Structure 1
Amino acid sequence: MSLSKLFLACGITLGAMTTCLAPVSHAAEAKAEAGAQKTSAKAKKAPGKKAAAAPVAVAPEDAEEAAEPGVEGSTVVDFDCELGNKITIYQNASDEHHIALRWKKRLHRLTRVGTTTGANRFENKLFGLIWIGIPAKGMLLDSKQNRQLANECRNAEQMKPAAAATPATQG
């Protein structure tokens, strides 16, 4: 008997909540429709004019990362990666704190980040790119989507077999 009273109380409470919430949702829908009608009326008043795109605000510290870097006078190193991916690194001898990295037809400026392992790590926080270079290979990571973009990236020097890089020690 107490179980049926519980179900009855829950049903009444649910019905009351539905009744209370229904006018709010209808009011919100009506307000949204009125806003859409005003927008369409404004669009009809000014035919032939396109809406201007809102400028994207870039923080001053991010402006340097957003701008495409100049690569004049830089040392160019091409990397061949697994799955046919290609990366080009541009490094200026006078600036050891930055590199330019070409990935998918776009040039990105990356800034050196210190490591305890001795690996070369460069980041562009605006685009979420991380380049990690070790003597054997390099890899490109996407920190925003937490995934690898390119791995097993090797330049011409790293492609040489290890035996050819060191002279034979046999006598």
Structure 2
Amino acid sequence: MAITLPQLAAACVFALAAAGFCAPASAATEHEAHPKATKVLKEKAKADAHKKNKKKKEEAAPVVADEPEPDITDTVVAEYSCELNNKVTIYTNEKDEGHIALRWKNRLHRLDRVGTTTGAQRFENPKFGLIWIGIPSKGILLDSKLNRQLANECKKPEPAPQMATAPVEKKEG
């Protein structure tokens, strides 16, 4: 049986690979790796772990700003019931239409009006990252810092219908 040149070359490559002469660079063990490369990889892993821990801490502990609570005397109160049993209370003042006070999770926040082209009412508090968007049928509360919804499908409870009564005729007598 005659062996051709390509068959012989393939057999040599296979034999060399089996002996470990053609092993890929990633297969090198730690003690064979270059010391600088090992140091760089360890520093990168440490930095990545630090970033993850920092992000977890930021999400776990909300930032509390030292902002005084707004004055809600002489205001009109509108309570909203939202999905997932969340509650939002809006305090508006007829004298100051540029601001509202919003109660969310037992904290009162002052939000400033932001103009819109759609006719929706938009109020923001950049320090806390709160955004309230109100349209006639519902409202939504957003967290711009965490890019998520806090309360959706917020609606005012409908007033109980009142029965009309027929006028009572007075008897003369």
Q: Classify the TM-score, shorter chain.
A: 0.5 to 0.7
In structure 1, what is the equivalent of residue 87 of structure 2? 86
User: Distance between the aligned counterparts of 2:37 and 2:141, measured in 1?
Assistant: 55
Post-superposition Cα deviations, 1:27-86, rounded to whole Å, max 9, x if no partner, equal xxxxxxxxxxxxxxxxxxxxxxxxxxxxx9x7xxxx7xx322111111111112222211
In structure 2, what is the equivalent of residue 69 of structure 1? 70
The offset of 1:104, in angstroms, is 0.7
Counterpart secondary structure, 1:98: strand
Identity fraction in percent: 52
**Residues 9, 150 of structure 1: CA spacing in aligned structure 2 closer, same or farther, 3 A cutoff?**
closer
**Residues 14, 109 of structure 1: CA spacing in aligned structure 2 closer, same or farther, 3 A cutoff?**
farther
2:104 is the counterpart of 1:103: yes
User: Distance between the aligned counterparts of 1:86 and 1:131, measured in 2?
Assistant: 13
Give matches, 1:1-171, under 5 Å.
7=23, 11=28, 15-17=33-35, 21=39, 66-156=67-157, 159=158
User: Distance between the aligned counterparts of 2:38 and 2:106, measured in 1?
Assistant: 56
Amino acid aligned to 1:16: H
User: Distance between the aligned counterparts of 2:136 and 2:25, measured in 1?
Assistant: 71
Counterpart secondary structure, 2:146: coil
Out of 98-107 and 134-143, give the one that drifted further. Answer: 134-143
Post-superposition Cα deviations, 1:111-140, rounded to whole Å, max 9, x if no partner, equal 111111000000111111111110111111
User: Distance between the aligned counterparts of 1:68 and 1:129, measured in 2?
Assistant: 15
Counterpart secondary structure, 2:95: coil
CA RMSD after TM alignment:
3.4
**Residues 139, 8 of structure 1: CA spacing in aligned structure 2 closer, same or farther, 3 A cutoff?**
closer
**Residues 20, 144 of structure 1: CA spacing in aligned structure 2 closer, same or farther, 3 A cutoff?**
closer
Whichever structure has more helix as a proportion of its residues is 1
The offset of 1:90, in angstroms, is 0.8
- In structure 2, runs of 5+ residues without a counterpart are 1-12, 44-62, 162-173
User: Distance between the aligned counterparts of 1:20 and 1:153, measured in 2?
Assistant: 54
User: Distance between the aligned counterparts of 1:71 and 1:16, measured in 2?
Assistant: 67
Amino acid aligned to 2:154: C
**Residues 20, 84 of structure 1: CA spacing in aligned structure 2 closer, same or farther, 3 A cutoff?**
closer
**Residues 8, 108 of structure 1: CA spacing in aligned structure 2 closer, same or farther, 3 A cutoff?**
closer
State the number of aligned residues.
Answer: 122
